[in-house]
């Protein structure tokens, strides 16, 4: 990790993630997608040092604007606002920042430690899996992402199915015949992940930035003092920090739950178990610690299914899985045997990048605040350049830009009409693997592969996820109709 | 909301989006079942059958709800954003990326972001410098050229 160019790329990644985390409106997943084209010529370890180093610190610095301005730098830093911002308003911004940043570091270390410990535990399980189990795991991952991430279940499944169909574009792996190629030689190789991701995520995000004028934060902050008090608070309330970190790890492992959910579960848990629950929402230090620790610990957890089973649980992890494929690495058993060095390098990347980010944050806290006064429109030409070059360099073909624009329209439509994009991306990334595993399973066992014990258990879990989501949808609909009936009365 | 924004989500637009989805699945079903063997279309058919059922259900749902809905905050794109994005890609097609970068940055910051001339010019210069140094000189990345040849400016 400390060799050149790995260390340099890690520093670069941390630097980019650091700024992106502070800038609301520019998401970590989009930045990860924008940086994918740069890893083509890299070896796996430097590439992951760059990408994961960037991703691992986005949530850490995202907390800074949550505390100071009540604007989350990232969607996963919303819970920090509940108590961090009230603390800043009563003149304790430094203490809140000290607590949230240090608890983020503790959370990241716990997440990375669980990732490292899980390798020998998960290895026998992964090695015992065959094609039917891997196929069903991919299906389970998609189902969980659709069912647990909220939103409309039918739309979620349709987006996932669309992602699978789009992944079919290209030569049929078994007959060599082109599928959905429309006579275009360009499509024979299938659609590359980079223009698709850039279109789905970066184009709508850039359009949003173009639609907002003015600075990200307009409010001036008071002096930032007593940062070390916040660090001491982390040790004083170590039990909350530890529990919330572990909640983050376990939620991170479950595909579809993600950071946005984890922060609220951990926050609610901290409130329920606190001796002073009435202080939550008014500037409770325990609330700040819960939100900070859960934010970063979930990354270690989220990497476990991505690396061990090839099933990403979030958009960012799906993009990271795309990076694996670009580098010619197939996640799964190999990551726990042949490529164990890469898996363990990820543990170190999470730890080192968070140490760097938190250290830099403490050193530059006062200077960092000015970044939030950058206008969203200033980023627009820069993002347009990055996404155009990123898409074009996939094959040095203008059609890559066209593909990006087509999926930009899909991404725009999805946001506009309330269709989730994450299931599409996950299905698109998992499509070729799922097809291969289904083919092998069918070849080996015919349809009896569906009756194998582990496969049956995974089907049961998937059905459970769907049942949970249907129940939640019905409950939400009932609550909404009761509310509207109450308003009418 | 400022003028030029789209404050409501048209029920018709949502229907069109669902219909487009149904059309994609219908085409996929047609191509897979006319040009491929049973074995080759195993995976595709496992997807297409539920996809068609769900897409029809979604279209029916949209037809039964043909009225405007409130736009979620994250979907409130302004029309000017689309126009500027279209302008960027039109310029890219016409004159290539190397010229588009400083020109678009200058015009966009001056007209859309209403920045002062010195700031817009400085930004355009640094945008050009960034691409020239990082992508062209250091990374040797080829940039897309335009339909109108400008050999003296583009590399």
Residue A254 falls in which region: left (phi positive, over 0), alpha (psi -120 to 50) or beta: beta
- Average pLDDT value for residue range A454-466: 89
**Per-residue confidence band for A375, with pLDDT thresholds at 50, 70 and 90:** confident
Distance of CA B110 to the CA centre of its chain: 23
B-chain CB neighbours of A260 within 8 Å are none
Does residue B66 register a pLDDT over 80? Answer: no
User: How far is the CA of A90 from the CAs of A19, A99, A282, B16, B68, in angstroms?
Assistant: 26, 16, 10, 50, 43
Judge whether B55 lies within some domain.
Answer: yes
User: How far is the CA of A263 from the CAs of A94, A234, A235, A283, in angstroms?
Assistant: 21, 17, 20, 16
Judge whether A1 lies within some domain.
Answer: no
**Per-residue confidence band for A34, with pLDDT thresholds at 50, 70 and 90:** confident
Judge whether A109 lies within some domain.
Answer: yes
- pLDDT for the residue A429: 84
ipTM, two decimals, is 0.87
- Average pLDDT value for residue range A165-191: 88
Find the DSSP H helices in A337-452: 340-368, 376-392, 398-416, 422-445
Shared domain for B62 and B116, answered yes or no, is no
Does residue B24 register a pLDDT over 80? Answer: yes
- A residues 138..167 contacting B (CB < 8 A): 154-155, 157-158, 161-162, 164-165
| Count: domains in chain B | 2
Judge whether A58 lies within some domain.
Answer: yes
Judge whether B130 lies within some domain.
Answer: yes
**What percent of chain B stands above pLDDT 90?**
43
Does residue B4 register a pLDDT over 50? Answer: no
Shared domain for B105 and B49, answered yes or no, is no
| Count: domains in chain A | 1
Q: Which of B9, B77, B97 sits opposite A417 (nearest CB)?
A: B9
CB burial of residue A147 (10 Å; 0-12, 13-18, 19+): buried
Shared domain for B57 and B88, answered yes or no, is no
Shared domain for B58 and B94, answered yes or no, is no
Rounded to the nearest integer, the mean pLDDT of chain B is: 82
Does residue B8 register a pLDDT over 50? Answer: no
Shared domain for B45 and B84, answered yes or no, is no
- Average pLDDT value for residue range A9-19: 89
Most confident of A10-24, A63-77, A269-283, B91-105: B91-105
Q: Which domain holds residue B122?
A: 79-138
| Structural domain ending residue among the three candidates B75, B96, B115 | B75
**Per-residue confidence band for A297, with pLDDT thresholds at 50, 70 and 90:** confident
| Structural domain ending residue among the three candidates B22, B41, B75 | B75
Judge whether B148 lies within some domain.
Answer: no
- pLDDT for the residue A290: 92
Q: Which domain holds residue A127?
A: 6-214+222-478
- B10 CB near a chain A CB, below 8 Å? no
Shared domain for B53 and B19, answered yes or no, is yes
**What percent of chain A stands above pLDDT 90?**
17
Does residue B137 register a pLDDT over 80? Answer: yes
C-beta atoms surrounding B107 within 10 Å: 17
| Structural domain ending residue among the three candidates B75, B100, B129 | B75
Q: Which of B14, B75, B108 sits opposite A380 (nearest CB)?
A: B108
Reported as a single tens digit per residue, the pLDDT across B38-52 is 877 888 888 899 999
Shared domain for B46 and B67, answered yes or no, is yes
Q: Is the bond leading into A5 cis (omega within 30 degrees of zero)?
A: yes
Q: Which of B42, B77, B143 sits opposite A211 (nearest CB)?
A: B77
**What percent of chain B stands above pLDDT 70?**
82
Judge whether B97 lies within some domain.
Answer: yes
């Amino acid at each position: 990790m400390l060799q050149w160019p790995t260390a340099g790329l890690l520093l670069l990644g941390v630097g980019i993630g650091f700024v992106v985390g502070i800038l609301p409106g520019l998401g970590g997943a989009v930045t990860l997608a924008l940086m994918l084209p740069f890893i083509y010529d890299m070896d796996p370890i430097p590439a992951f040092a760059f990408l994961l180093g960037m991703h691992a610190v986005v949530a850490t610095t995202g907390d800074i604007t949550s505390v100071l301005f009540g604007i989350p730098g990232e969607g996963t830093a919303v819970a920090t606002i509940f108590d961090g911002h009230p603390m800043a308003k009563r003149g304790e911004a430094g203490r809140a920042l000290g607590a949230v940043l240090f608890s983020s570091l503790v959370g990241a270390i716990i997440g990375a430690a669980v990732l490292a410990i899980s390798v020998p535990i998960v290895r026998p399980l992964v090695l015992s899996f065959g094609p039917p189990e891997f196929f069903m795991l991919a299906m389970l991952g998609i189902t969980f992402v659709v069912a647990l991430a909220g939103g409309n279940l039918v739309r979620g499944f349709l987006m996932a199915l669309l992602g699978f169909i789009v992944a079919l574009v290209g030569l049929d792996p078994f007959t060599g015949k082109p599928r959905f190629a429309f006579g275009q030689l360009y499509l024979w190789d299938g659609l590359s992940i980079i223009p698709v991701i850039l279109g789905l995520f970066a184009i709508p995000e850039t359009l949003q930035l173009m639609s907002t004028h003015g600075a990200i934060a307009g409010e001036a902050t008071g002096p930032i003092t007593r940062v070390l008090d916040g660090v001491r608070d982390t040790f004083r309330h170590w039990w909350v920090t530890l529990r919330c970190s572990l909640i983050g790890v376990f939620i991170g492992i479950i595909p579809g739950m993600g950071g946005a959910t984890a922060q609220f579960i951990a926050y609610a848990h901290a409130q329920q178990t606190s001796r002073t629950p009435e202080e939550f929402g008014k500037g409770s230090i325990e609330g700040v610690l819960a939100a900070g620790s859960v934010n970063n610990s979930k990354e270690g957890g989220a990497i476990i299914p991505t690396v061990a089973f090839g099933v990403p649980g979030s958009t960012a992890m799906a993009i990271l899985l795309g990076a694996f494929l670009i580098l010619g690495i197939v996640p799964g058993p190999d990551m726990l045997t042949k490529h164990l060095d890469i898996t363990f390098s990820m543990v170190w990347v999470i730890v080192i990048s968070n140490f760097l980010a938190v250290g830099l944050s403490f050193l530059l806290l006062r200077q960092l605040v000015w970044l939030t006064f950058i206008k969203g429109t200033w980023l627009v030409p820069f993002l347009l350049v990055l996404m155009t070059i990123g898409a074009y360099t996939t094959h040095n073909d203008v059609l890559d830009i066209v593909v990006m624009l087509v999926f930009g329209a899909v991404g725009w439509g999805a946001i506009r009409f309330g269709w989730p994009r994450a299931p599409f991306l996950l299905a698109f990334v998992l499509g070729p693997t799922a097809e291969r595993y289904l083919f092998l399973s069918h070849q080996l066992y015919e349809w009896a592969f569906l009756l194998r014990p582990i496969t049956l258990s995974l089907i049961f879990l998937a059905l459970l996820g769907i049942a949970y989501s249907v129940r939640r949808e019905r409950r939400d609909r009932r609550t909404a109709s009761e509310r509207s009936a109450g308003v009418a009365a | 909301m400022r003028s030029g924004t789209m404050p409501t989500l048209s029920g018709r637009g949502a229907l069109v989006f669902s219909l487009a989805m149904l059309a994609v699945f219908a085409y996929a079903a047609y191509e897979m079942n006319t040009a491929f063997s049973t074995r080759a279309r195993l995976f595709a058919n496992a997807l297409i059958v539920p996809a068609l059922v769900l897409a029809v259900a979604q279209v029916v749902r949209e037809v039964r709800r043909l009225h405007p809905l409130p736009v979620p905050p994250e979907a409130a794109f302004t029309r000017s954003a689309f126009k500027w994005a279209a302008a960027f890609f039109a310029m890219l097609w016409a004159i290539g990326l190397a010229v588009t970068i400083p020109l678009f940055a200058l015009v966009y910051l001056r007209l859309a972001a209403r920045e002062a001339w010195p700031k817009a010019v400085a930004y355009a210069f640094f945008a050009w410098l960034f691409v020239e140094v990082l992508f062209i000189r250091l990374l040797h990345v080829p940039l897309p050229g335009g339909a109108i040849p400008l050999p003296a400016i583009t590399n």
